[in-house]
Amino acid sequence: VTYDPTADDHYYLGYRLDPSRAFDLDRSHDLVGTDRGAIVLGARRRIDDTVSAYAENNYDLFGRRRSLAQTYGVVYTPDALWTLDAGFEAGIIRDDTIDPATGLQRPDFRRYSGSLALGYNNEEEGINARIRGEGRFESGDDGSRDRNTYLFAAGMSWKTSEDWRLLANVDAVVSKADAGAFHDGDYVEASIGYAYRPVDNNRLNALFKYTFL
């Protein structure tokens, strides 16, 4: 449900239920309890021609791992080419499941994160690029769920000619936990490719791409 009282104000209320998130391949994160989805409430307001702000509340009723998070951000668009987006999120995850290793209830933990994104879109030159960084910091009641996670994403599309486009993308995550190296995780996926899309013959499309995972 959305409500736009003026051209500068936007309010929305939503309910989200993902039918596939209760299970994974190794069944290590199977849903405990009933998944009641998530309730999302947010607002966006344009302050002037270059600055807009947004806020969102997300109440996730994922089985017995319920979470409540608030997100706040500011988007700065100095001109038609550049966009700067800065955001902050704070929330708490309440978990009443039992740790099979210890037989004790898993502790609740809090999460704080900050993000900064930069976008560039030049239609005349055929260049569309973006870069985003985020840091997430989690702390539990007993220190067993303390974790720092750093995320980086970047992508570019460059129309080198009417028929050819250069594509590049990278996603990286580095996660460090106080519980030991077993709980750490690093993930990197990068790709570069060249796409052939002739404007005078839409029956033929080709993509040459290399991916590092």
Residue-level pLDDT, tens digit, the chain, 213 residues: 999 999 999 999 999 988 776 655 445 556 667 788 899 999 999 999 899 999 999 998 887 778 888 999 999 988 889 999 999 988 887 777 777 767 777 778 888 999 999 999 998 889 999 999 999 998 877 777 788 999 999 999 999 998 999 999 999 999 988 766 767 788 999 999 999 988 888 788 999 999 999
Written as six digits, the tokens of 152 are: 């980086």
CA distances from 160 to 41, 185, 197, 210 (A): 42, 37, 12, 18
CA distances from 67 to 36, 54, 173 (A): 12, 20, 22
Distance CA 149, CA 113 (A): 9
pLDDT computed for residue 91 by the predictor: 86
Describe the strand order of the beta sheet including 51-62 as a list of residue ranges.
Answer: 2-3, 9-16, 35-46, 51-62, 65-76, 82-95, 109-122, 127-140, 147-158, 164-177, 185-196, 206-212
pLDDT computed for residue 25 by the predictor: 47
pLDDT computed for residue 76 by the predictor: 92
